[in-house]
Amino acid sequence: MCGLLIGVAVQAPGAPIIGMAHTLGLLESVFMLAFVALRPYLYLSFANAWLFCGLTIVSFYCNFIGISLTVITGAGAGMYLPPWGSYVTDSPSAANFWVGFTLNMSSAAVAIPLLLVGGWLDQRATKPRLQGWMFYISILLTIVFLALTFIPNLLG
């Protein structure tokens, strides 16, 4: 829902990005509604449930904050391809740093589908090894994916 609220900044420097922000807000809302609908058919261990909640909160809110900063400041951090690239600036600035940081942090969402598949495969809570593997693989996948998104920024 927060992604939909970005539309209030219609005269902001990055206002043409608002369409993308609305789309992201809708996609995240649909994802959460799908999770709620499927929740009775999923089993997540205590650790996986906390990991799922943490990854969802961090990735979705970082996405929202990054897009909001882009809309308000016009900073793109080199993340936007045409046609949006013409509406944002990639010059070194604090705003570009924070846009890049928050949008890179939103990539933590890559492990969420893996946790959901593991929860669906273990519907009756009979496979503790599967839950353990899903937890460790999700943590590793999150670390690797965040490293892959941050390393080019650190090198360049």
Counting Cα atoms < 13 Å in the Cβ hemisphere of 46 gives 0
For residue 113 the two structure tokens come to 């589908």
141, 115 in Cβ contact below 8 A? no
The mean per-residue pLDDT over the stretch 11-18 comes to: 58
Could you tell me the sign of the dihedral formed by the alpha carbons of 12, 13, 16, 22, in that order? negative
| Tens-place pLDDT, residues 46-96 | 888 899 889 888 888 888 888 888 878 878 777 765 665 666 777 788 888
- Lowest average pLDDT, out of 20-24, 32-36, 70-74, 128-132, goes to 20-24
What range defines the domain where residue 22 resides?
2-155
pLDDT at site 4: 57
- Number of domains forming the structure of the chain: 1
Integer Cα distance of 69 and 99 in angstroms: 6
Q: Name 75's bridge partners.
A: 89
The per-residue b/e assignment along 64-95, b for 16 or more CB within 10 angstroms, e otherwise, is bbbbbbbbebbbbbbbbeeebeebbbeeeeeb
Q: Which amino acid is at 122?
A: D
64, 3 in Cβ contact below 8 A? yes
pLDDT at site 151: 77
Q: Could you say which DSSP state residue 89 is in? A: B
Q: What are phi and psi of 42, to 5 degrees?
A: -115, 145
pLDDT at site 50: 92
The closest of 99, 104, 101, 105 to 71, measured between CA atoms, is 99
